[in-house]
Amino acid sequence: MPKLNHRVIFSGIQPTGVPHLGNYVGALRQWVRLQRSEDASTKLIYSVVDLHAITMPQPPEQLRRRKREALAALLAIGIDPERATLFYQSSVPAHSELMWILSCTASVGYLSRMTQWKVQDTILYIQQRLTNPKSKLNLDQKSSIEDRQAGSRLKLGLFSYPVLQAADILVHSNSCPCWP
């Protein structure tokens, strides 16, 4: 008997606050539609990606609250737990375990070409400049991983963010709705 290939679709949302209209139009509406449009054999897996969220410092109680709010919002917009698997990323150890394995093979040179750490640090830089104009704790736009001073402020979690994203996808051997 030939092996049937069933699709698996995984996607996640960071618990950075109550999901807003942009989240809904950009992704969440699609998640609800997939419940109806995909064949019943397609496994839908949606996660509140709380490990990704901790790349930005925040009080633990705030993260716990935001995780609950994100999960409640997913249920409120129509994600059906009977049709889709819903979970907190941190509750599935395979995400962080595979991230570690992948990080042992990912080169610093490759990751240094990623822009996510500069973008996030630019946001922090602007916020900090607004509250403390004399602060020099953040990277500027011309910083690079080779810049010793910039590298000393770079947080590993943010730098290795793409490795965790890859682990998220590979753990479920899936199709990502954001990529064709």
Could you give the percent of the chain with pLDDT greater than 90? Answer: 51
Where does the pLDDT of residue 158 fall: very low under 50, low under 70, confident under 90, or very high at 90 and above? confident
Gap between the Cα atoms of 118 and 112, Å rounded: 10
- Mean pLDDT calculated for residue range 28-35: 96
Q: Do strands 8-13 and 43-48 pair parallel, antiparallel, or not at all (unpaired)?
A: parallel
Gap between the Cα atoms of 141 and 135, Å rounded: 15
- Mean pLDDT calculated for residue range 16-41: 92
List strands edge to edge, sheet with 43-48: 8-13, 43-48, 84-88
Mean pLDDT of the chain: 81
* pLDDT, position 131: 57
Tokens, residue 159: 């730098």
Instruction: Please identify which residue in the block is written with the tokens 């059906």.
Output: 80
**Structural domains of the chain ordered from first start:** 8-92+164-171 (3.40.50.620), 108-157 (no CATH)
Looking at per-residue pLDDT, the higher value among 156 and 76 belongs to 76
Is the whole model's pTM more than 0.85, yes or no?
A: no
Where does the pLDDT of residue 55 fall: very low under 50, low under 70, confident under 90, or very high at 90 and above? confident
Instruction: Please identify which residue in the block is written with the tokens 């019943």.
Output: 40
Longest dimension (CA), the chain: 69
Gap between the Cα atoms of 175 and 169, Å rounded: 8
* pLDDT, position 17: 84
Gap between the Cα atoms of 144 and 109, Å rounded: 11
- Phi and psi (nearest 5°) for 45? -130, 120
Gap between the Cα atoms of 41 and 74, Å rounded: 21
Least confident segment among 42-56, 67-81, 121-135: 121-135
Residues 6 or more apart from 49 whose CB is under 8 A from it?
12, 13, 14, 15, 89, 168
